[in-house]
Amino acid sequence: MSATRTYSVPDISCDHCVSAITGAVTPLDGVDKVLVDLQAKQVTVDGGDDTAIREAIDDAGYDIVA
């Protein structure tokens, strides 16, 4: 069973943000599902490596807050 992680990403505000983050995280090894919640400003990822996911979100131009 893969881990599910939720990241707080306060910069997300539109469909472009959803597409950018989904496109950056989905192709990562081991990622089964990516859900970007605009209202909650959260990204939930099933599977994948935490470090790789964080780097992909950062590379897409978004900051994760603890």
Domain residue ranges of the chain, discontinuous segments joined by +: 4-59
Buried b (16+ CB within 10 A) or exposed e, 1-33: eeeeeebebeebeeeebbebbeebbeebeebee
List, for residues 4-18, the tens digit of each pLDDT value. Answer: 999 999 999 999 999
- Quote the pLDDT of residue 13: 93
Q: The pTM is what?
A: 0.93
Distance set, CA 29 to CA 10, 20, 34, 56, 58 (Å): 25, 17, 13, 12, 17
- Quote the pLDDT of residue 1: 59
Sign (positive or negative) of CA dihedral 51, 6, 63, 19: positive
Domain 4-59 annotated CATH 3.30.70.100: yes
